[in-house]
Amino acid sequence: MAALNGAVVENGQPDRKVPPPPPLLPRPLRSLEVKYTKIFINNEWHESTSGKKFPTYNPSTLEKICDIEEGDKPDVDNAVEAAKAAFQRGAPWRQMDALSRGRLLHKLADLLERDRVILAVGFPPGVVNIVPGYGPTAGAAISTHHSIDKIAFTGSTKVGKLIKEAASKSNLKRVTLELGGKNPCIVCADADLDLAVECAHQGVFFNQGQCCTAASRVFVEEQIYPEFVKRSVEYAKKRLVGDPFDARTEQGPQIDQKQFDKILELIESGKKEGAKLECGGLAIEDRGLFIKPTVFSEVTDNMRIAKEEIFGPVQPIMKFKSIEEVIRRANSTEYGLTAAVFTKNLDRALTLASALQSGTVWINCYNALYAQAPFGGFKMSGNGRELGEYALAEYTEVKTVTIKLSQKSP
């Protein structure tokens, strides 16, 4: 069981029978003192070598929260040197057995959830290093560094390509990428309509739509299309947008001004290209970077909102006539991260699951993610896998040792 955007989820399905329990976490602190703004290297806090800092803002109010030390190439170099020393033969971390390392990692996870503490955990110096900074500077220094052996990146396809290129031009470091998605959510006429509407809604509006797995292309069989659109609009209009510190809020602000502007520009493109705006489509102008939950119907495959990753609270709904048609249309994208199918017919479900070019296919559920299940994309959605046993292979090397035994009799 997992929690999805405030709703209790069992095997990826919202539980509509039992009301959600009260929040398990304490109420957020609105006036929290920000204690750690420096670069963390070798178990010590440092100012940036350049002396530069960058601001971070609260997207709800547009007020500045604090200034963070801006890492650059010299800071990355220092972090790499500390890490290399920590992993030398004979160093405390290399002498630590797997069980002891695991205990430290679990302790780190617990304390990070509680109060962002690293020094208290007990990692040897150099094992954990944190260098905040921008992609073209700190990110580029990491990607091209000859002493870094592995990069795991989650972000845009554009930046993922740059990292791969930099890795190939430096030391051929291993790279795993979890990139963008334009994920098809296919609703067949025989589906449980209540379940499909709710899962598609949560699938696209979760985290303000700022989610690589967002159900941002909803294909609905034509027999049930009008009813599906009607119910989706009802859900969107009821979605509570507001202060993310309020436990009742379902949708908070977008992450920054650039993303906010991009989403509104794509909404305008949907209007101009002929999609029918069913609800939303506007910013909430009396506060920060908030956008009303938006639903478009009569969307066609050539529209930008059907092709581009919006990364915002926008639900484009399209119709289809046949299974072969929806397979072709669902796969006609450069992305291949996730997909979902809603149907009561097992044969149809398995046919679609086999045909869809996606790293993950959910059947009658959405965002059902588990530590045991590998996660990653096809095509331009990246390569490599996180989670599951497959993820471990990305961080290990295979070594063959051959020993010639003496031919003398024992």
Catalytically active residues are 178, 212
Three-state DSSP class for residue 314: strand
Buried b (16+ CB within 10 A) or exposed e, 106-128: eebeeeeeeeeebeebebbbbbb
CA-to-CA separations, 149 to 21, 82, 98, 166, 219, in angstroms, rounded: 44, 14, 20, 13, 42
Residue 383 has phi, psi (to 5 degrees) of -150, 160
Cα(100)–Cα(124) distance, integer angstroms: 12
Side-chain half-sphere exposure of 397, counting CA atoms within 13 A: 7
Cα(124)–Cα(127) distance, integer angstroms: 6
CB 312 within 8 A of CB 209: yes
